[in-house]
Amino acid sequence: MPAPVGEPLPVIPRLVVINKADADPPLVTPYLLDRSSELTREFSIASAVTQIGGGPALRYYWYYDYSPKVPFHFAQVCGTAPRCVLSVCQKAKATDKDHFLRVVASNGDLAETPKNPFDFASGTAFDSVEWRLELVGNCPALTP
d(CA 7, CA 131): 46
- On whether residue 14 sits in a domain, the answer given is no
- On whether residue 28 sits in a domain, the answer given is yes
pLDDT at position 143, please? Answer: 45
- Look at phi and psi of residue 93 and say left if phi exceeds 0, alpha if psi is from -120 to 50, else beta: left
- On whether residue 31 sits in a domain, the answer given is yes
pLDDT of 77 strictly over 60: yes
pTM of the model: 0.84
- On whether residue 106 sits in a domain, the answer given is yes
Work out how many domains the chain is built from and give that number: 1
Give the residue from 52, 50, 49, 59 showing the smallest Cα distance to 13: 52
Domain around 42: 19-112+120-136
- On whether residue 7 sits in a domain, the answer given is no
- What Cα–Cα distance (Å) separates residue 133 from each residue in 35, 42, 103, 121, 137? 11, 13, 14, 30, 13
What would the pLDDT profile of 22-59 be if each residue is shown by its tens digit? 999 999 889 999 988 888 999 999 999 999 887 788 99
Contact 98, 31 (CB under 8 A): no
